[in-house]
Amino acid sequence: MTSQPDTTPDTSAAEFPIDTIRPLLLEQFAVLDDLLSGPTEDEWTTATCLPGWTVKDITAHLIGTESMLAGIEAPRIERDVRSFDHVRNDIAAFNELWVESLRPVPGPDVLERYREIVALRTEQLGAMTQADFGKQSNTPVGPAPYGRFMRIRVFDCWLHELDICDALGRTGSEGGPRAELGSAEVFGAVPFIVGKRGKAPEGARITIELSGPLARTVHVEVHGRATEVPAHSEPATTTIAMDSGLFVRLAGGRVRAEDRIDEITLGGDTEVGRRIVDNLAFTI
């Protein structure tokens, strides 16, 4: 029996184009390199918005994830990382293996480790094709094309750029192509956030108006389930307005709405609006 060619359409190029995602991920690696070239000895140990993590710890986490993707096993350490207050699930425990193993290492040496793994990942990514980006892979959101995982990497690295900048009092990339690509992970989750986490009731029509570098208007209606729509069928029952930078940080669990509520404008059914903004965090 002769095999027949696979005529199943390859949709990965349209949804996760390698020629878009790969260069932006490599650019994000370079931006982080520039950012991490500046900290003083004291700044490497500056606490960030992520519980238990310093600037150096975030760098170690980046090294760990890219090492995993490169096929490098996580280090073995003596301490039980699951005993740490900020470790609450399996992914966090895995991340902490790399972080804990590099805590005794000076910041500049950790930066060199970052550069080494980025060089290896750049070589690996450079050898990939669109077909590779279309292959199913285990990702933080479950089985998905490898290209989806690389888009998540853009999001994760970009968000950590903001984390480091916020900790050091510097300005990060609040907008631009990398932010637009990475934030697709946030905006794609808005119906889930509104319906499941925010518990918007049946018939609710939610409008989220964002200003700033990632300005946009997002409409969600709840009819059985929450769904993003181009426009509402009737006037919104709840409106939420804020700067896009704040929205991203809320969605990433970096800040709490109750601490920044004076920067958020709620309209219509404000009880529903407050419940949504209080539950925007969706990252693991």
* Beta bridge mates, 229: 219
Burial 164-193 (b: 16+ CB within 10 A, else e): bbbbbeeebbbeeebbbbbbebbbebbbeb
Q: What is the pTM of this model?
A: 0.91
Supply the pLDDT for residue 186: 94
Neighbours of 261 (CB within 10 A): 14
Locate 124 and state its tokens: 């690996």
Fold of 180-278: Nonspecific Lipid-transfer Protein; Chain A (3.30.1050)
Q: In this structure, what DSSP letter does residue 74 have?
A: P
Q: How far is CA 234 from the centre of its chain?
A: 33
Distance CA 66, CA 178 (A): 18
Distance CA 107, CA 37 (A): 10
What sign has the CA pseudo-torsion 249, 250, 254, 256?
positive
Profile the chain (284 residues) by mean pLDDT over runs of 10 residues.
Answer: 36 83 98 96 95 96 96 83 68 81 95 98 98 94 95 97 97 96 95 95 98 98 96 96 98 96 98 97 78
Q: In this structure, what DSSP letter does residue 242 have?
A: E
Same fold yes or no, 18-173 and 180-278:
no
Supply the pLDDT for residue 82: 65
Distance CA 1, CA 3 (A): 7
Neighbours of 204 (CB within 10 A): 22
Burial of 36 from C-beta contacts in 10 A (0-12 / 13-18 / 19+): buried
Distance CA 250, CA 245 (A): 9
Supply the pLDDT for residue 77: 79
> How is the chain split into domains, by residue range?
18-173, 180-278
Locate 230 and state its tokens: 């181009």
Distance CA 158, CA 182 (A): 7
Fold of 18-173: Four Helix Bundle (Hemerythrin (Met), subunit A) (1.20.120)
Q: In this structure, what DSSP letter does residue 43 have?
A: G
Strand-strand pairing, 238-243 and 265-268: antiparallel
